[in-house]
Chain A
Amino acid sequence: MAIVAALLPDRLDREALRSAAPPHDVVWAESWRELYRLVRKRPIAAAVADIHAEDRKDGVLRVYRFAQRFPITPLIVWGELDGRDLFRLGKAGAWEVVSSRDADDEHLVREVMHAALTGGLAPLVDARLRGRVGEDGRELVRFAAERIPDQIQVPDVAEAHGMSVSTLERRCERWGLPTPGRLLLWLRVLYGLRWLLEPGRSVESVAYQLGYSSGAAFRRAIKATIGGRPTPLRSEKGLDRALDMFVAECPGDGVYERLTATG
């Protein structure tokens, strides 16, 4: 499950987030600086921060800096927010806000967390495969893509789907997907490339977040899938090209072609 980084000095706020977060994990930061560091170093899927966490510092400006460094990591702002704060937060790039008044409404906080964590790579890949791979195959890819930050391995995927590794391999072949090992390799690379869209993350930190032993290992994975080096791929266009190449390796199960052919 995903990891959420949080900067909430108030004990009650921490409790509220803790009770709404499961099944996701929360790691706590004590300052904005530490929050930035956590997101840079760990596979953080979303962040939560109280804009009044540090006295005499403009929390909105910190949000702006966060959004500049990590533009695709959702930042949920928490706290007592007046009209001007809310207006400035939108401009600064806050992804969502939870006012103090709503903070102890577990349902509401859970909804916000869920919405923040359902973006990411999985829907992107799913959209590309739609019309090419059937629902069962796409469900498997979605499942794996959502768990890449947890460093999921092939046996974990097989176990979660109640089948052996060899059965999983046969299913992947039938659904027109790459082998499970190759699929996870691709998803790691795509995940990494998406993270690399954020200027605040380095190749080394992304490699570590994905479970590679070094930046060199991640570079080798890129070479084995897309070819070339990661740096030229650090753009929307690069990710787009990588997604195209991944889809080209998924011949699909032909269900959609057959449906089209028979009207």
Chain B
Amino acid sequence: MARYDRIAPLPMPDRARVFPAWYALADLENRERDPELARRARLRFLALRPVRRLLRQGIDRVPVESFERQIEGVREELGHLSARDPERASLARFLHRIRERTPTAVVHATLEMGEVIESSGHYRAAEEYFLTAFELAEACGLGEDQTTALRLVGRLCRKAARWDDAEAYYRQAIARSEAMGQRRQWARAMDGLAIAYAYRGNYPKARVLLEEVLERGRAWKDDYIVATALSSLSTNALTAGDYEQALEYGWTAIGLMDSEEARHPILGNLGRAFAQLGLFRAAERCYEIIIANAREVVPRNQAKADYALIAAEAGNVKEFRARRQRLLNDAAEWRDEPWVSTWVHLHVGRACVLVGDIDDAREHLRTAIALASKHRYNEQLIRAEETIELLEAAVAGARPAPAAVGQPGAVAVRIAEEVEACSTAALVPATA
């Protein structure tokens, strides 16, 4: 091995033993020669350093002039990212907000920046932002923000399949929120832990946790908590293959959600459950409602991809191709959002497999795999790889077994009728 490579094989240092904010660079592990990532990681590191400084010295003990100068220096370097890069604007916003130097502003800005980085799949850097926010919130006695930060680290560890770490952080968030009487934070942390169990296939344990949240939410007469629990119970039932139950929980949750945007993820799940039961018209209705009402790019385009997939699942080849074409015509809307872009290619790719558009399927799935690998969207990567294997097997002559479609029960049929009766303009469940 060449001498200049001696550092690369060294193990990752312990966070407590390395200089402040270093973990914002840690996504460079095994990729340290990627110049684009190195530039990005450096800016994240430099941007977090003023916050680490406030944490080390104490907010009041850092001279304003010196702090401003440090921030200005980072701002001047933002030009190393392309003007079209959304992270550049996010970093500029972050730097602007931390200039306020109030604990709340700094902690909130750090958490939000962490979420931006997390969405790029750079989990180590995001973790460093969340942990810094947590430490500052703890030092300044901001109880709510402490639990939020711990919960976000738990979520991130869950995404990175670091199950033990995820559980440890969620349990800390649960214990702290309970001790501080933060009911909603407690519910969200319990919810996160339940999802972690569900991801590992332990649906019964997830269900027990969620039922405890539901029970307490009802005792506290808190619709938000009840709706959160029902929504997650719906997701849990859906992944466990209990579609009827998923519909029942989800439809009740929708009636309790106070914002239109909060209903969309649940509607998305309902759409999937309807499709699994062969209730394609109701499934389409779910996605139509989301497409018509979602203001954000991610849920709207996610729904558009699923809307196309439903047509393929229902065997409506002509309609699928038309929907796919519309989605591709609007690619400018979602192309720059890596997560939704991966989702679109994966789901449209799956649909192409179903209708026999082999070349298109291969292209979509390969793009999905490339994006998921680059941004570390593990779940989507696994699903895309499975689908492309099915595709190649089909090309080789082995016909894939058709997806099992369950028989809808009375509850599912009733809910399907109610969903179909809803207008796309406003979702008002009759029975929820």
Contacts and interface: CB of A to CB of B under 8 A. Distances in A.
7 contacts: A82-B38, A86-B45, A89-B19, A90-B13, A90-B18, A96-B20, A97-B19
A111 B53 contact: yes
Interface string A71-105: 00000000001111011111111111101011001
Nearest to A65: B6
Nearest to A95: B19
- The SS class assigned to the A binding surface is helix
Nearest to A74: B19
Given A60-B7, A64-B6, A87-B25, 20 more contacts: A58-B4, A83-B25, A83-B40, A83-B45, A84-B33, A87-B32, A87-B38, A88-B7, A90-B13, A90-B18, A90-B19, A91-B10, A95-B19, A99-B46, A101-B73, A105-B69, A105-B70, A107-B62, A107-B65, A111-B53
Interface in A10-36: none
B33 A111 contact: no
Contacts of A90: 13, 18-19, 22, 25-26
A124 interface: no
Contacts of B3: 58, 61
A182 B238 CA distance: 73
A85 to B, nearest CB: 9
Report, nearest first, the 4 A-B pairs whose CB atoms are least far apart: A83-B38, A83-B42, A107-B66, A90-B22
B56 interface: yes
- The SS class assigned to the B binding surface is helix
Contact of A92 (B10, B66, B69, B70): B10
Interface residues of A, number: 28
Given A87-B41, A92-B7, A108 B66 contact: yes
A86 B73 contact: no
Nearest to A115: B56
B7 A86 contact: no
A91 B30 CA distance: 12
B12 interface: yes
A105 B4 contact: no
B249 to A, nearest CB: 46
B431 interface: no
Interface in B1-60: 3-4, 6-8, 10-13, 18-20, 22, 25-26, 28-29, 32-33, 37-42, 45-46, 53, 56-57
Which among A84, A87, A93, A95 has the highest number of chain B CB atoms within 10 Å? A87
B42 A86 contact: yes
A82 to B, nearest CB: 6
B63 interface: yes
Contacts of A87: 22, 25-26, 28-29, 32, 38, 41
A105 B111 CA distance: 28
A88 B18 CA distance: 11
